[in-house]
Amino acid sequence: MTKNATEKISLRGVKKSFITDDGPLEVLGGLDLTVATGQFVAIVGPSGAGKTTLINVACGFTLPDAGSVLIDGVPRHGPSRKGILISQQGSVFPWMTVRENLLFALDRGAKAKNIELAQRYIDLVKLQGFENSYPHELSGGMLKRVEIARALVLKPEILYMDEPFSALDALMRLRMRTELLRILEEEHHTVLLITHDVEEAIHLADQIVVMSPRPAVIQATFAVPFPHPRQLSMPEVQQLKESILRELGM
């Protein structure tokens, strides 16, 4: 086994089909993807291409039919606390308060220390004052921030994010991106982000990967060499955006 210290996530020839009423549906068609330690990779692709399937395979919830998933060079067989998934529909427990959600994730360790830690991350996502609120008492954007805080409080090495902001309005989306960048500056996670918003990808990622339609493979890879904070109006940025959109067939 060749172990490359900077390869955090490595997918090799990953294939995945689903059985449907009309026979097997080939979703991932032998896909290769590498994410380096500390790198922020965004995946864009057509709807229904298999992006959610890909991230589920990467974080261990779905086993591939063929190919392998290596995390730190070691084959992965199931989910772990090392990599936390922020799913498309969200999974904050509605029967727990904001604080209880974070404490549930922390699970082990001394209670007093966990409460302190939870408070730190509640503050980080600017939810102080809502520790004892229930999710149904929060707005969509606040709920997403709870989800992010609950993932970050575990100090995972990898964050998997499946269209985390797509349900929010444009203004909130922009604000969440800025907050995410601010948080990532403090804690250096490896991030795999799925989005259908090319501008969001350019705003956040170090590298953008374009997925082909089903059966999906990686069709193109773009580096995003601009320093933060990024000005989306810069001509180089617009050029990059156009090339990516062209890859997507628009």
Ligand X SMILES: Nc1ncnc2c1ncn2[C@@H]1O[C@H](COP(=O)(O)OP(=O)(O)OP(=O)(O)O)[C@@H](O)[C@H]1O
Q: Which stretch binds ligand X (CB under 6 A): 3-11, 45-53, 170-178, 241-249?
A: 45-53
CA 54 to chain centre: 11
DSSP 5: T
Binding string, residues 52-71; x marks residues near Mg ion by CB under 5 A: x-------------------
Handedness of CA 37, 162, 202, 11 (dihedral sign): positive
Give the whole-angstrom CA distance, residue 64 versus residue 82: 20
Binding string, residues 117-156; x marks residues near another protein by CB under 8 A: -----------------xxx-----------------x--
Residue carrying the six token digits 């090799």: 12
- Taking the complex as a whole, the smallest distance from the CB of residue 166 to another protein amounts, in Å, to 16
Contacted entry of ligand X, Mg ion, another protein, none for residue 105, CB cut-off 5 to 8 Å set by kind:
another protein
Asked if 107 touches another protein (CB under 8 A), the answer is yes
Asked if 48 touches ligand X (CB under 6 A), the answer is yes
Q: How many CB atoms lie within 10 A of CB 18?
A: 12
Asked if 89 touches ligand X (CB under 6 A), the answer is no
Size of the site for ligand X (CB under 6 A): 13
Q: CA separation (Å) from 177 to 6, 9, 67, 121, 219?
A: 26, 23, 33, 17, 26
Q: How many CB atoms lie within 10 A of CB 165?
A: 24
- Taking the complex as a whole, the smallest distance from the CB of residue 52 to Mg ion amounts, in Å, to 3
- Taking the complex as a whole, the smallest distance from the CB of residue 50 to Mg ion amounts, in Å, to 8
Asked if 18 touches ligand X (CB under 6 A), the answer is yes
